[in-house]
Structure 1
Amino acid sequence: MNSSAFSKSKLPTLLSIVVPVYNEAGNISPLVDAIKKSVDNLSITYEVIFIDDGSQDGTWDAVTKVSRADPRVKGLSLSRNFGHQHAILAGYSIAEGKAVISMDGDLQHPPSLLPAMLREWQNGFKIVHTRRISHRKQPAFKRLTSKAFYWVFSLLTQVVIPEGSSDFRLLDRQVLDNITKFNDVEFFIRGVVNWIGFPATVLTYQENERFSDKSKYTFTRMFRLAVSGVVAFTSLPLKIGIWLGLFTSVLAFLEIIYIFIKFVQGVTVPGWASIVGIVSFLFGILFMILGCIGLYIANIHENLKNRPRFVIQQKVNLS
């Protein structure tokens, strides 16, 4: 694709590409080269912003090196690991582009898709989502848990996130300015972007293999992201407790009536084991409800602290 495919009057005066990285030292230079190859022929001004989320492998040195060679490449180093979502927000907070694209730093999000995303933005879409086409080498467990999460999240929140979605997306400046007004401590960007509205479209892509090293997004990290996303977007789990309580109360009341009738008829109802099982089941539900309440209280507590979502340690090519 070349620059003639675009109307220069509608192109952004500056495109910001936000790349959160964590222990990705070997991927920085190849990613910058791939972005340049994809974007340079569009004849637009752009910046690439790397957010080093507390890496310990020389990632910041790699970012500094490429930044010194090209002033369009900028870097932000956080004081510790604040998490992928907060790292993206750090990039959003300093991005100057009329259009802002976020992507991962492992080259699995193809830079070759950037021109197509810009073209959709030019066509009037304020949000350009991307959806990963199933990768046959992705572990079956990861595919299954991903499907389960999107299904449960959509069911509980009424916010539909297409399966295969990621944080590889384009946001118009108007959308970004509204998102950065959110004060939520537990911030789930995928949910916010699908909740906020604005004209949107979806592009599909085939996920690349990682250029080097292995994925840092463990099952534990994904589980935490899923829980924080649900807690941030809906109070329905708390309301489910009311319905479960009502349902079990009705069952218990019916059982009491049954036992009373049998007692009047002179029949002793056996089944201590079944009673113990029912009581254990009810206690299980009770503890799950208490756990849900605890999550929401913890979320309120974190918001009341009013701590910053991230702390900046160093900058390069940024004022």
Structure 2
Amino acid sequence: MKKVTLLIPVHNEEATLSMLYGRLLDLTNRHSNYEWEILFINDGSSDHTLDLIRQLRQTDKRVNYVNLSRNFGKEIAMLAGFDYTTGDCCVIMDADLQDPPELVDKMLQYWEEGYDDIYAKRRNRGDESWLRRRLSLAFYGILQKMSRIDILPNVGDFRLLDRRCVIALRHMREHERYTKGLFCWIGYNKKGIEFDRGDRLAGQSSWGFFKLLNLAIEGITSSTTSPLRIATICGMLFATTSFFYALYFLVKTILYGDQTAGFPTLIVVILFLGGVQLFSLGIIGEYVGRIFKETKGRPAYLASDYNENKLGYEE
């Protein structure tokens, strides 16, 4: 009997856990030909999320959990899930029920047909604001143009991964992670399923503007070095322009005499070039900072406790 792991990172999701578990029970009952594991990764929740998971564990031994020692972020929580999952395939989903568990039925069907990575592509983005939706689409467009791999637009973490995909992702231990890019990087046989993303049923999303901005920066710096190339090209362009501009003033001075340049123009040029330099240094600093973090050799996460069952499988 094949085993399916439902991998669910949670952070302060006490309001949705009971509804989520009910929907998951319906899913597992529809597919009794599989052995099921429901693996919660508690990412440093400050509410009663962990207590509720432990209660579920007492009544349903298919429920496993890993409690991280603090909030490491969703990207690291998914890495912890890859380390501890025991299934022949792994379905990653959020706990807020915006990603419908019923879509797993079709994912399993495609998995049995031989696909390794069955991802859910959103036809719409639920209750997101117009500005957030436009910024998200713009980010995917920029990343697609910068990266050498195909970045799937409007695709989140909701997907089914075959065991060999999970093992490949386990080997990628970088701390500054953009898992959506890693899903594309590993390749394998992919299949997309379109769906309409629902609204959040309860609780508040922890993904504010600055967290999303940080994720966007992680996505670009983790997936491509194009910003460094852009900074180099801009430097060469401005240096060349300045050289010819200096030649222009030299010839003009020789032919027509020395004339006093406009002070506002001089200030604007200095401020503009200074801004370009600081921007370029910031780009370099982003990459250097990531190198610094990786050289420390710290573990990506620490788990304070997990249930007594042996978790994880041999590679």
TM-score range, shorter chain: over 0.9
Aligned residue number for residue 162 of structure 2: 172
Aligned residue number for residue 64 of structure 2: 74
The separation in 2 between residues aligned to 1:141 and 1:86, in whole angstroms, is: 27
Aligned residue number for residue 208 of structure 1: 198
Secondary structure of 2:41's partner? strand
Aligned residue number for residue 31 of structure 2: 42
Aligned residue number for residue 142 of structure 1: 132
Give the TM-score taking structure 2 as reference length: 0.94
Aligned residue number for residue 292 of structure 1: 283
Could you tell me which runs of 5 or more consecutive residues in structure 2 were left unpaired when the two chains were aligned: 311-315
Secondary structure of 2:155's partner? coil
Aligned residue number for residue 147 of structure 2: 157
Aligned residue number for residue 14 of structure 1: 3
The separation in 2 between residues aligned to 1:109 and 1:125, in whole angstroms, is: 20
Residues 86, 310 of structure 1: 8 Å contact kept = yes
The separation in 2 between residues aligned to 1:236 and 1:162, in whole angstroms, is: 18
Q: Report how far residue 269 of structure 1 moved.
A: 5.7
Aligned residue number for residue 96 of structure 2: 106
2:175 to 172, 185, 188: 185
Residues 24, 59 of structure 1: 8 Å contact kept = yes
Could you tell me which runs of 5 or more consecutive residues in structure 1 were left unpaired when the two chains were aligned: 1-11
The separation in 2 between residues aligned to 1:318 and 1:161, in whole angstroms, is: 37
**1:84 maps onto 2:74 in alignment:** yes
Secondary structure of 1:26's partner? coil
1:273 to 264, 275, 279: 264
Deviation digits for residues 47-104 of structure 1 (CA, Å, limit 9, x no counterpart) = 0101110001100011111111100111111110000010111111111111101000
The separation in 2 between residues aligned to 1:142 and 1:248, in whole angstroms, is: 34
2:298 to 307, 311, 315: 307
**1:28 maps onto 2:31 in alignment:** no
Q: Report how far residue 317 of structure 1 moved.
A: 5.1
1:136–1:29 CA distance, 2 compared to 1 (3 A): closer
Q: Please identify, of 265-274 and 91-100, the stretch whose mean Cα deviation from structure 2 is larger.
A: 265-274
Secondary structure of 1:168's partner? strand
Q: Which amino acid aligns with 2:273?
A: L
Q: Report % sequence identity.
A: 29
Q: Which amino acid aligns with 1:73?
A: V
Q: Which amino acid aligns with 1:219?
A: F
Q: Report how far residue 196 of structure 1 moved.
A: 1.3
1:301–1:135 CA distance, 2 compared to 1 (3 A): closer
Q: Report how far residue 226 of structure 1 moved.
A: 1.3
Deviation digits for residues 115-157 of structure 1 (CA, Å, limit 9, x no counterpart) = 1011111111110111112146320111011012111111221
The separation in 2 between residues aligned to 1:305 and 1:205, in whole angstroms, is: 41
Residues 12, 49 of structure 2: 8 Å contact kept = yes
Q: Which amino acid aligns with 1:304?
A: T
Secondary structure of 2:16's partner? helix
The separation in 2 between residues aligned to 1:137 and 1:88, in whole angstroms, is: 24
Residues 262, 269 of structure 1: 8 Å contact kept = no
Q: Report how far residue 163 of structure 1 moved.
A: 2.3
Aligned residue number for residue 307 of structure 2: 316
Residues 79, 311 of structure 1: 8 Å contact kept = yes
Q: CA RMSD in A?
A: 1.4
2:87 to 92, 97, 115: 97
The separation in 2 between residues aligned to 1:269 and 1:247, in whole angstroms, is: 26
1:234 to 218, 224, 244: 224
For these two proteins, the number of residue pairs brought into alignment is 308
Residues 71, 317 of structure 1: 8 Å contact kept = no
